[in-house]
C-alpha cells in the first residue's frame, strides 16, 4: 500500500482527550440547532431516526478506518489509496472549502447576530458589522496557524464553552418549564411527516458528520490506533445529547412560529432567562459571548483539520503547487493553506453580504445550505473508499473492527452512503422530492430568495470548486515530469 510521504516538522501531541475535544468543537454546531428546532416537534423524532440509522453505522466504519489508517491527511489519504489522486483531490477540495465557506458564511453571520442583539449593537452592513466579521474570521484562522500543541487548548476551551452554554440553557429552560409549564412541547407535534423529513435531512446529516476530522492530524496523535475509536464513540454520544436536549428545550419554551434558524437559540434564551429577573440582561450577554466564542473555535477546529487535508493534497502534487502543502518548520502547521482559507472566507463573507440585499435570515439559510452541500458531496467518494480499503487491504492491522466483520462493515457503509446521496440531492435541489409525497413547496417562502438565485449560488459554487480542483490537479501534473509521476 502506497501512502503520501510523511510530513516533516510534526510533533505528536494529541492525546485521547484532545481528539475528543477537537471532535466536539468541530461537530456540535450552534448554527444548526435553531435550524433543526425550526422543524418543530418532529425534529426530535427525526434526530432519533438519524442517530440510529445514520450516526451509529457512520461512527462504526470511521472508528475502524481511522484506527487502521492513521496517516496525516485522513480522508485524503483514504481516497487516494483507494481510488487514486484525482478523486482524492476533488474530494478534499469539497471537504476543505466547506470550512472557509462556512466560517465566512453562517458562522460569522450567526455570531454577529448574537453580538448585535445581546452584547453590543453592530447594525447590518455598517463599518462595525464588517469589522466584527473580519476580526472573527481572522482570529479563527490565526488559532489554526499556531502550533497544534498550543492550538488544541483553544479548541478544548471552545468545546467546554459550547457544552457549558448548552447545559446552562437547557437547565434554565427546564426551570422555566417547571414554573410556567411546558406548553411548547404540548403543541409541538412529534408525529413525523415526509415533508418534515425532507426539510430536515440535509441539516441533520450535516450536524452529525465530521467525527473523522481529527484523523487529518493522524501523525500528530500519540496513539491513534487505540484512541480514535474511543474518541469517536464519546464525541458522537456527547453530540447527540448536545443536539437533542437543547432542541427539546427550545421547543418547550418558544411559542410556535418564534423559532427561526438564524436566531432560534438566542431568542429562546431571551425568553427563558426571564426567570432570572434583573440578572437576565447580564446572563444573556454572557451566554452570547460563549455563543460567539463557540462559533469561532468551531471554525478554527475545522480549519486545523481541513487545512491539513488540503495541504497534504498540495504536498502530494494534487493542487497547483507543492508550496501550498508546506508545513512551517517551527509551528508544524500549513501556514500558507491557513492564509488561503482566510482569504476564501473573507471573499465569501463579502459575497454573502450582498446576497438577498443583506437579509440576514435569507443569507444564513442559503449559505448554510452551500456548506451542507459541499461537505456532503465530499463523502460521495470517502464512504466507498472506506469500503474499498476494507476489502482490498485486509492485512492492515485493525485494533477495532465493526461487528460481524466485512459483512457488517459493508452493510453499514451502504446504509451511510444511501443517506449521503439523499442528503446531497435534497440540499442541491430542494423542493423536487416533495411532490412525490404529496406536499406543496413554496420556494421563496422557504428560502427568502428565488429558485434561480438559490441554484445559481449553490450549483455555481459547486461548478467553480470542481473547476478549481481540476485546474489545480492539471497544473501540478503539467509541472511534474512524467517520469516522476506516481503510477
Q: How far apart are CA 130 and CA 353, in angstroms?
A: 9
pLDDT at residue 1, rounded to an integer: 57
Please tell me the pTM assigned to this model: 0.86
User: Which residues, 6+ apart, have CB-to-CB distance to 83 below 8 Å?
Assistant: 381, 384, 385, 388
Question: Residue 260: is its pLDDT beyond 60?
Answer: no
**In the numeric block, which cell numbers belong to residue 257?**
412560529
- pLDDT 10s digits, 174-199: 888 888 877 767 667 788 888 889 88
Comparing 254 with 1, which gets the higher pLDDT? 254
Q: Is there a contact between 35 and 366 (Cβ–Cβ < 8 Å)?
A: no
- pLDDT 10s digits, 390-443: 999 988 889 999 999 999 999 999 999 999 999 999 988 988 998 888 888 888
- Of 259, 252, 293, 248, nearest to 114 by C-alpha is 293
Which letter, b or e, does each residue of 424-461 get, where b requires 16 or more Cβ atoms within 10 Å of its Cβ? bbbbbebbebbeeeeeeeeeeeebbbeeebbeebbeeb
- pLDDT 10s digits, 206-235: 889 988 988 988 888 989 999 999 999 999
Q: Is there a contact between 117 and 285 (Cβ–Cβ < 8 Å)?
A: no
Provide the pLDDT confidence category of residue 487 given band limits of 50, 70 and 90.
very low
Provide the pLDDT confidence category of residue 363 given band limits of 50, 70 and 90.
low
| Helix H or strand E segment including 464 | helix 451-479
- Of 364, 354, 408, 356, nearest to 386 by C-alpha is 408
Question: Residue 29: is its pLDDT beyond 50?
Answer: yes
**HSE-up (13 A, CA, CB side) for residue 61:** 31
Average pLDDT of the residues of the chain:
85
| Helix H or strand E segment including 473 | helix 451-479
Angle between helices 360-392 and 451-479 (to 10 degrees): 40
- pLDDT 10s digits, 454-472: 888 788 888 888 888 888 8
What 8-state DSSP symbol labels residue 405? H
Give the mean pLDDT of 30-38.
78
Q: How far apart are CA 162 and CA 92, in angstroms?
A: 27
Q: What is the dihedral of CA 148, 154, 160, 166, to 10 degrees?
A: -120
Q: Please provide the DSSP assignment of 336-377 as one string.
A: HHHHHHHHHHHHHHHHHHTGGGG-HHHHHHHHHHHHHHHHHH
Residues recorded for the chain: 487
* Of the listed ranges 57-71, 77-91, 104-118, the one predicted with least confidence: 104-118
pLDDT at residue 350, rounded to an integer: 85
Amino acid at each position: 500500500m502506497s501512502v503520501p510521504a510523511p510530513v516533516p516538522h510534526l510533533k505528536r501531541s494529541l492525546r485521547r482527550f484532545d481528539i475528543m475535544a477537537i471532535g466536539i468543537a468541530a461537530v456540535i454546531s450552534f448554527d444548526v440547532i435553531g435550524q433543526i428546532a425550526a422543524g418543530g416537534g418532529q425534529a426530535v423524532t427525526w434526530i432519533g431516526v438519524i442517530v440510529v440509522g445514520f450516526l451509529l453505522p457512520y461512527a462504526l466504519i470511521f472508528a475502524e478506518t481511522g484506527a487502521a489508517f492513521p496517516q496525516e491527511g485522513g480522508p485524503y489519504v483514504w481516497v487516494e489509496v483507494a481510488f487514486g489522486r484525482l478523486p482524492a483531490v476533488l474530494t478534499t477540495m469539497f471537504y476543505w472549502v466547506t470550512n472557509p465557506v462556512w466560517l465566512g458564511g453562517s458562522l460569522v453571520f450567526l455570531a454577529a447576530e448574537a453580538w448585535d442583539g445581546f452584547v453590543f449593537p453592530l447594525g447590518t452592513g455598517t463599518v462595525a458589522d464588517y469589522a466584527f466579521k473580519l476580526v472573527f474570521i481572522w482570529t479563527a484562522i490565526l488559532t489554526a496557524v499556531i502550533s497544534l500543541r498550543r492550538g488544541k487548548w483553544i479548541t478544548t476551551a471552545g468545546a467546554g464553552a459550547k457544552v457549558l452554554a448548552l447545559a446552562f440553557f437547557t437547565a434554565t429552560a427546564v426551570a422555566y418549564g417547571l414554573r410556567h409549564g411546558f406548553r411548547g412541547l404540548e403543541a409541538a407535534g412529534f408525529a413525523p411527516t415526509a415533508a418534515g423529513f425532507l426539510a430536515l435531512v440535509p441539516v441533520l446529516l450535516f450536524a452529525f458528520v465530521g467525527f473523522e476530522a481529527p484523523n487529518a492530524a493522524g501523525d500528530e496523535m500519540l496513539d491513534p490506533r487505540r484512541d480514535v475509536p474511543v474518541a469517536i464513540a464519546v464525541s458522537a454520544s456527547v453530540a447527540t445529547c448536545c443536539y437533542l436536549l437543547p432542541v427539546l428545550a427550545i421547543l418547550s419554551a418558544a411559542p410556535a412560529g418564534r423559532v427561526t434558524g438564524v436566531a432560534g437559540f438566542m431568542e429562546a434564551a431571551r425568553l427563558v432567562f426571564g426567570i432570572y429577573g434583573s440578572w437576565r440582561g447580564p446572563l444573556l450577554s454572557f451566554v452570547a459571548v460563549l455563543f460567539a466564542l463557540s462559533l469561532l473555535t468551531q471554525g478554527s477546529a475545522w480549519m486545523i483539520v481541513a487545512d491539513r487535508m488540503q495541504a497534504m493534497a498540495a504536498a502530494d502534487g494534487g493542487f497547483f503547487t507543492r508550496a501550498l502543502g508546506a508545513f512551517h518548520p517551527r509551528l508544524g502547521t500549513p501556514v500558507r493553506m491557513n492564509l488561503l482559507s482566510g482569504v476564501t472566507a473573507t471573499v465569501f463573507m463579502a459575497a454573502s453580504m450582498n446576497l438577498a440585499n443583506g437579509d440576514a435570515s435569507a443569507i444564513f439559510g442559503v449559505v448554510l445550505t452551500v456548506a451542507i452541500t459541499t461537505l456532503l458531496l465530499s463523502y460521495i467518494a470517502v464512504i466507498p473508499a472506506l469500503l474499498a480499503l476494507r476489502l482490498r487491504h485486509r492485512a492492515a492491522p485493525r485494533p477495532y473492527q465493526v461487528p460481524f466483520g466485512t459483512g457488517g462493515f459493508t452493510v453499514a457503509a451502504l446504509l451511510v452512503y444511501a443517506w449521503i446521496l439523499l442528503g446531497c440531492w435534497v440540499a442541491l435541489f430542494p423542493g423536487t422530492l416533495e411532490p412525490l409525497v404529496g406536499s406543496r413547496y413554496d420556494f421563496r417562502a422557504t428560502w427568502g430568495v428565488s429558485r434561480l438565485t438559490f441554484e445559481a449560488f449553490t450549483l455555481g459554487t459547486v461548478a467553480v470548486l470542481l473547476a478549481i480542483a481540476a485546474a489545480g490537479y492539471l497544473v501540478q501534473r503539467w509541472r511534474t515530469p512524467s517520469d516522476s509521476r506516481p503510477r
